[in-house]
Amino acid sequence: MSENLRIVGLRAGIETESGEIQEILKGVDLVINDGEVHAIMGPNGSGKSTLSNVIMGHPKYKVISGDILFKGKSLLDKPTDERARAGIFLCFQYPTSIPGVTIGSFLRTILKSVRGKDLPVKEFRKELKEATSLLEVPESWVGRYVNDGFSGGEKKRNEILQMTLLKPSLSVLDETDSGLDIDALRIISEGINKNRSTDRAVLLITHYQRMLNYVTPDFVHVFAQGKILKTGTGELALELEEKGYDWILSGAN
């Protein structure tokens, strides 16, 4: 089994107006292998979304120390677009609307960017049809503008459609279950499961155990105080649902 992502002693934060860095991540260590699904759970403000943004290279966040290795190579000097082309995909908690740009046009553009070449129309349509069929998305849907007038569930489904076409080596799903009703959660989770593969990995960030009823993780990590405090299997998620986070936080102080 090959190593996909390794995070070593990562400390990072946001640069303030005074030029100082407000530290949010305070020593994160994590190893994810190909074929694995890792779930990160934790209270609000613990730094979970910061971790996803730092992995993706968001310029708003600054690394203080430590390293992020993807396929054995450091990402720290790589801009966001280069990380995406290398095979990292970030599913946003709040996807942005792009009025005037159809989903089909958008998908073809991002495929060209990641693969480094334009995809022939016939080949693109074939791949798109396979992806929409896999996710049970009507083909007519791709004529709509990106997330414009979409429900929360439709926006997240569009993100999973992108992931299905791009086939990233690492998918970072930042609170994909946020704002979803029961039916939308099931559909999105089924889409994630259909994308699972022995040569790809998933980092699933969530507040609640409910998504893990559908997407079974190999490991569950409790993230709080800017770092991982405890790691376990899916049973840990059930324990968190029952007890909350206080029993872990008290032991960490």
* pLDDT band, residue 251 (cuts 50/70/90): low
Angle between helices 152-166 and 103-115 (to 10 degrees): 30
Q: Please, are residues 239 and 231 in contact by the beta-carbon 8 Å criterion?
A: no
* Distance set, CA 39 to CA 6, 174, 180, 207, 238 (Å): 15, 10, 18, 10, 13
- The confidence score (pLDDT) of residue 229 equals 94
Return the half-sphere exposure (C-beta side, CA atoms, 13 A cut-off) of residue 46.
20
- The confidence score (pLDDT) of residue 252 equals 56
- The confidence score (pLDDT) of residue 210 equals 86
Measured between its terminal Cα atoms, the distance across the chain in Å is: 35
Q: Please, are residues 107 and 98 in contact by the beta-carbon 8 Å criterion?
A: no
- The predicted model gives 101-114 an average pLDDT of 91
* pLDDT band, residue 241 (cuts 50/70/90): confident
- pLDDT of residue 73 exceeding 80, the answer is yes
Give the tokens for residue 168.
């990233």
Q: Which residue has the higher pLDDT, 138 or 101?
A: 101
* pLDDT band, residue 25 (cuts 50/70/90): very high
Beta strands 170-174 and 3-15, pairing class = unpaired
- The predicted model gives 23-36 an average pLDDT of 97
* pLDDT band, residue 94 (cuts 50/70/90): confident
Domain of 224, CATH number, reads 3.40.50.300
Spatial distance between the Cα atoms of 83 and 81, rounded to a whole number of angstroms = 5
- pLDDT of residue 61 exceeding 90, the answer is yes
For 222-236, the pLDDT digits (tens) are: 999 999 999 999 899
- The predicted model gives 178-203 an average pLDDT of 89
Spatial distance between the Cα atoms of 249 and 162, rounded to a whole number of angstroms = 36
The range of the structural domain enclosing residue 178 comes to 3-252
Supply the mean pLDDT for the chain: 90
Which residues have C-beta within 8 Å of that of residue 167, sequence separation ≥ 6?
Answer: 195, 200
- pLDDT of residue 134 exceeding 90, the answer is no
**Domain count for the chain:** 1
- pLDDT of residue 35 exceeding 60, the answer is yes
Angle between helices 152-166 and 121-134 (to 10 degrees): 130
Name the residue among 110, 103, 168, 169 with its Cα closest to residue 132: 103
Name the residue among 26, 8, 15 with its Cα closest to residue 66: 8
H/E element holding 55? helix 48-56
